[in-house]
Chain A
């Protein structure tokens, strides 16, 4: 008991606290930034093309004289929207399917074989292929990513559900005659929650990365709306003259994903009694 309390006191660990701070700063920049720095992300200013970073242009301007800082913030808002929505939907769909597979023997085999097939395709490739059949829009990117991640999430939850269903406390509520919905909702799901939360945080990170990849390849939400991926796609032809246009969006993707991953690790270590000894 004393040990458990000490673990709680320890919080998430120094690395995860730094990560939390980093993610907090990125989110603040993206969400609150546009209220402070009010320049347009799409306004073309012919006289201000390809200006390097300075006081007037904190991150410089691009080939159309648009403010890179404003575009980074606008692109970040899109990334956050896509990643949050993808995470929520994947957690919901993956948990539901995973619980069903872990509890209904008849469906387990079918669902797991289908997920095998999905896992045979790298996430990015499947997402790109799914974009072939949909208009390149923000909503469809979310749909593609949810389809890609859900089997992975479902597998994890299923594995956990298979373990939990054999636990004495589940046996006990079963013996008391609890309904299946109660067993799943009150006993299995809450005990699988740490894993679901950790996996959800990783999915948030993957979604930022994969959304940027899709946009970079030109199958994400279309320009002129800024996204971190399409900024990099346009800027890579200009690295000879204007490296800053590529540098900042990439840096923000890296920081956001890195912070999310470290945070996920921190949460996992905290809930995993085997770690941190």
Chain B
């Protein structure tokens, strides 16, 4: 089991290294230069040259990459050209906001998705199933920002019961923070619950048809216990996989939701950096997002091996 996890960690570390190449090369090879944005179009060639020298933009790409990689390894993502501050600091300041949003949305997505999936599987091919499939399909198709705007309209404008945006740290005022989080977390979570619901339904349907379910029922085990204890536990593995994917990609959705609800998170940082051509920030954010993906995947692998004896056996 340790060997299995070690090899997974190594391969994910390799993925992270490849992402540094994507983040660096793709972005640096492009036309356009931060000096043009920072200094304006009527800057003298001398000012441009000085700016480029100051940020190391005049060195060969390979040298720039190695220097950058050397700094990353030490936790230094460079200095933001626009903010004039370390990228690491800027990201760390905003990370709690994005993480709070992501985890809140994740909780909603899992609870909603698994419940919908179980209900649809138990009453499959009835109207319940069809309603769930419509709810899930809507989640997969609706633009998150539109859902966000509609929620703001309904619950902050029409019936003003919740704030329309902004962020309050949960460790400062938990109740207020929760109220600020409800709408954005729901907008993000609902959209991702569709995928989980679909997987939970399919996997649960298969489990409910299993012989062990028939055995449990014939032994006289209560229906709720059959569903939750016997069927659901066996249906859990594929659901776990898709949940992991959800948590990993949710960061992408958070970018948009942060814009709708004016949350100063990592997503806002990225979008602003793109508009300002602040390359170090764009690269740093990409790496943090990829690191998040890697961490989530390792966590899923550990849960995998812990929860399924078959995986445990194959790994050892």
**Interface, chain A (partner B; CB < 8 A):** 113-114, 116-118, 120-126, 128-135, 205, 209, 212-213, 216-219, 232, 235-236, 239-240, 243, 246-247, 249-251, 253-254, 257-258, 260-262
- CB-nearest residue of chain B to A113: B18
The answer to whether B15 and A216 touch across the interface, beta carbons within 8 angstroms, is: no
- CB-nearest residue of chain A to B291: A120
Give residues 94-150 of B contacting A (CB, 8 Å): 137-138, 140-146, 149-150
- At the interface, yes or no: B19 with Cβ under 8 Å from chain A? yes
Tell me how far the C-beta of B125 lies from the nearest C-beta in chain A, rounded to whole angstroms.
Answer: 12
- At the interface, yes or no: B22 with Cβ under 8 Å from chain A? yes
Give residues 195-241 of B contacting A (CB, 8 Å): none
Residues of A within 8 A of B260 (CB): 236
Please pick, from A123, A125, A205, A251, the residue contacting B286 in the complex, using a CB distance under 8 A.
A125
Since A121-B290, A209-B143 are in contact, a sample of 6 more A-B pairs with Cβ atoms closer than 8 Å, ordered by chain A residue number, is A121-B286, A125-B251, A128-B255, A133-B29, A258-B140, A262-B137
Tell me how far the C-beta of B53 lies from the nearest C-beta in chain A, rounded to whole angstroms.
Answer: 21
Q: Known contacts A120-B16, A128-B274, A217-B271; is A243 also within 8 Å of B153 by CB?
A: yes
Residues of A within 8 A of B29 (CB): 133
The answer to whether B137 and A261 touch across the interface, beta carbons within 8 angstroms, is: yes
Tell me how far the C-beta of A212 lies from the nearest C-beta in chain B, rounded to whole angstroms.
Answer: 6
Residues of A within 8 A of B253 (CB): 122, 124
Please pick, from B22, B141, B152, B277, the residue contacting A132 in the complex, using a CB distance under 8 A.
B277
Bound CA span A205–B277, Å: 29
- At the interface, yes or no: B259 with Cβ under 8 Å from chain A? yes
- CB-nearest residue of chain B to A257: B141
- Tally of A-B residue pairs with Cβ under 8 A? 150
Please pick, from A113, A122, A218, the residue contacting B14 in the complex, using a CB distance under 8 A.
A113
Bound CA span A213–B150, Å: 16
Bound CA span A92–B146, Å: 31
The answer to whether A258 and B293 touch across the interface, beta carbons within 8 angstroms, is: no
Residues of B within 8 A of A257 (CB): 141-143
Bound CA span A246–B150, Å: 8
The answer to whether B252 and A122 touch across the interface, beta carbons within 8 angstroms, is: yes
Bound CA span A213–B23, Å: 21
**Interface, chain B (partner A; CB < 8 A):** 14-16, 18-19, 21-23, 26-27, 29-32, 137-138, 140-146, 149-150, 152-153, 157, 248-249, 251-253, 255-256, 259-260, 270-271, 273-275, 277, 279, 282, 285-286, 289-290, 293-294
The answer to whether A125 and B15 touch across the interface, beta carbons within 8 angstroms, is: no
Bound CA span A170–B26, Å: 38
Tell me how far the C-beta of B39 lies from the nearest C-beta in chain A, rounded to whole angstroms.
Answer: 18
Please pick, from A133, A232, A258, the residue contacting B149 in the complex, using a CB distance under 8 A.
A232
- CB-nearest residue of chain B to A205: B141
In the assembled complex, 10 residue pairs joining A and B whose CB atoms fall closer than 8 Å, in A order, are: A122-B293, A209-B141, A219-B271, A219-B274, A232-B149, A239-B153, A243-B153, A250-B146, A257-B141, A261-B140
Tell me how far the C-beta of A243 lies from the nearest C-beta in chain B, rounded to whole angstroms.
Answer: 5
Please pick, from A125, A218, A239, A253, the residue contacting B143 in the complex, using a CB distance under 8 A.
A253
Bound CA span A253–B145, Å: 11
Residues of B within 8 A of A122 (CB): 248-249, 251-253, 289, 293
Residues of B within 8 A of A246 (CB): 146, 149-150, 153
The answer to whether A213 and B143 touch across the interface, beta carbons within 8 angstroms, is: yes
Residues of A within 8 A of B143 (CB): 209, 212-213, 216, 232, 250, 253-254, 257
Which of A128, A249, A261 has its CB near the most chain B CB atoms (within 10 A)? A128
Residues of B within 8 A of A134 (CB): 30-32
Residues of B within 8 A of A262 (CB): 137
The answer to whether B142 and A129 touch across the interface, beta carbons within 8 angstroms, is: no
Residues of B within 8 A of A236 (CB): 145, 149, 152, 260
Tell me how far the C-beta of B133 lies from the nearest C-beta in chain A, rounded to whole angstroms.
Answer: 9
Tell me how far the C-beta of B248 lies from the nearest C-beta in chain A, rounded to whole angstroms.
Answer: 8
